Amino acid sequence: MQLGSASIFVRRGMAYLPVMALTDTGLRMGVEPIYAVTIASTALVDALQNVLAAGHPRIPHPTQDEWPRISRESPVLKAAGVKGWKEFSRDSAVYNVDWTERGVTVYISQLDKQGRAEFAQARKMSFAPDSPVQSIAEAIVEDILSRPELLEPRSR
């Protein structure tokens, strides 16, 4: 049973946390508001708590024709100031956090051969069900800080 989830998009020293809506088919999609914070455990804790408090608003599942527009107009892309996912993905990572009765799991994206974020071979961190958000945020920040490509502007 899913108790809550959050997605943390990390790029160039910032973390972007959208509220995760659920479509009527069960697909999770990032919607506004989005919380943009620096890479610090206290800022990440506050943003995670805000996202969890918002819950998972229900939205209609997009039609096939709506997907291109939805992808282009993503609140994550707007907050990061980029035009598309390809540009965003070049120097980013996504941390998906799932709270269940059995525990908390953080899935960490990897880039596929086309440079897109994927979770098929994702690394993961596991926590006890009663782990405080602070502990989870600290582990995520530690992982982010170990990856300098997520912290600095891309060299041109």
The predicted-structure confidence for 69-92, as pLDDT tens digits, reads as follows 888 889 999 999 999 988 888 889
Q: Which CATH superfamily is domain 2-150 in?
A: NMB0488-like (3.40.1590.10)
Q: Give the single-character DSSP code of 57.
A: -
The reported pTM is 0.91
155 Cα distance to chain centroid = 24
Please say whether the beta carbons of 93 and 57 come within 8 A. no
Task: Please name which of 139, 128, 121, 120 lies closest in space to residue 48, comparing C-alpha atoms.
Answer: 139
Helix (H) or strand (E) run with residue 107 in it: strand 103-111
Integer angstrom CA distances of residue 26 from 5, 6, 12, 127: 13, 15, 31, 24
Where are the chain's structural domains?
A: 2-150
Q: Alpha-carbon distance 4 to 72, whole Å?
A: 26
Q: Please tell me the least confidently modeled range out of 40-49, 78-87, 104-113.
A: 104-113
